[in-house]
Structures are given as structure tokens and as C-alpha cells.
Copies of this chain bind each other. A is one copy, B any other.
Amino acid sequence: MKAWRSYIIASRRLLDALDADLAGHDLTMADYEVLAQLSDAPDRRMRMSELAKIAMVSKSRLSHRMKVMEKAGWVRREECESDKRGYFAVMTEKGWKAIVKAAPDHVDSVRNRFVDHLTVKDQEELAKIFDRVQSNLRDQYIAEDK
């Protein structure tokens, strides 16, 4: 439990530091994740639900954030022809520029704050550990049948 506690603290500090580093680009980690995922999608457009799922935010939160980011001119919504309930989130040119500008700094920040302090072996070990944790979480989730 002691190790656990210090893990919690360290990981929180890490996330906080990364968030602070991103603030210069008017982004939070959550928004960054949304934009990063969107920018990886074909044509940089994706259905709202899917984007919410892979960016790990709730549907309603995504709706709200999209409104903000839309106002900032980074994204836009387009209705879906084949399913009139649905919408696509589409990244604008401006949004693309913003994320392209932020990404290298963010990557640097991850390196500085984290990756550079790990040996290659550590990195592999860590990846393995969290893979295992995640797959167990998924199994538990399924077992709880939600």
C-alpha cells in the first residue's frame, strides 16, 4: 500500500505537470486527447460517439467541449447523411494547425517529465505491466456485465 500511495502521488504530479506544460497552447490533456484522436482519423472526421469512446470522455462532456472548441474554430460539426441522428466531428484547418503546433511540445514534455528518466528496459516493463492491468480491467468490466 505504501508503494501504491507513492505511485498515486507521482502519477498525479506527472499529469499535473503535463497539463501545465500544455496550458501554453490553451489545451488541457483531455482536449488534447480529443483533438489528437480526431486528427488521426481518416479525413480528420469521426462520429461523436466513437470519438467520445476512444478519447475516454463521456458523450455529454464531448458535446460541451465541442461547443467550446467549435467557438475557438478548431472543429466543426457535420450531420451524418446515413443516420440523421448522428453527427461527425470534423477538425478544421485551424484546429489542425493548433494540434500540429502543440504536439511536439507535448511530446517533449512527456519525454522531459517522464520517458527520459526511464531506461529502455523500464519502458518495456512498464508497457507490459499496464497492458496486463488494462486487460484485467477490461475482463472485470465485462464480468460485471455493464
Do A110 and B140 touch across chains, with their CB atoms under 8 A apart?
no
Interface SS of A by simple majority: helix
Do A122 and B129 touch across chains, with their CB atoms under 8 A apart?
yes
Docked CA distance A112–B137 (Å): 9
Docked CA distance A140–B111 (Å): 13
Judged by a CB distance under 8 angstroms, whether A60 is at the interface is no
Do B110 and A1 touch across chains, with their CB atoms under 8 A apart?
yes
Partner of A7, one of B113, B127, B136: B127
Number of chain A residues whose Cβ lies closer than 8 Å to a Cβ of chain B? 38
Tell whether A113 pairs with B126 under 8 Å between CB atoms, given A56-B12, A107-B1, A131-B6. Answer: no
In the bound complex, residues from chain B placing their C-beta under 8 Å from that of A115 are: 4
Identify the closest chain B residue to A113 (Cβ): B137
In the bound complex, residues from chain B placing their C-beta under 8 Å from that of A110 are: 1, 4
Contact bitstring A116-144, B, C-beta under 8 A = 1, else 0? 01100011011101111110110011000
**Restricting to A51-84, which residues have a CB under 8 Å from any CB of B?**
56
Judged by a CB distance under 8 angstroms, whether A41 is at the interface is no
Q: Which 6 residue pairs are nearest across A and B when measured between Cβ atoms?
A: A10-B130, A10-B134, A3-B127, A7-B130, A117-B136, A13-B137
Q: Which residues of A contact B (CB under 8 A)?
A: 1, 3-4, 6-14, 17, 33, 56, 107, 110, 112-115, 117-118, 122-123, 125-127, 129-134, 136-137, 140-141
* Extra A-B contacts (13), CB below 8 Å, given A4-B110, A118-B129: A1-B107, A3-B126, A8-B33, A9-B134, A10-B130, A10-B131, A10-B133, A13-B137, A14-B137, A113-B136, A113-B140, A117-B133, A125-B129
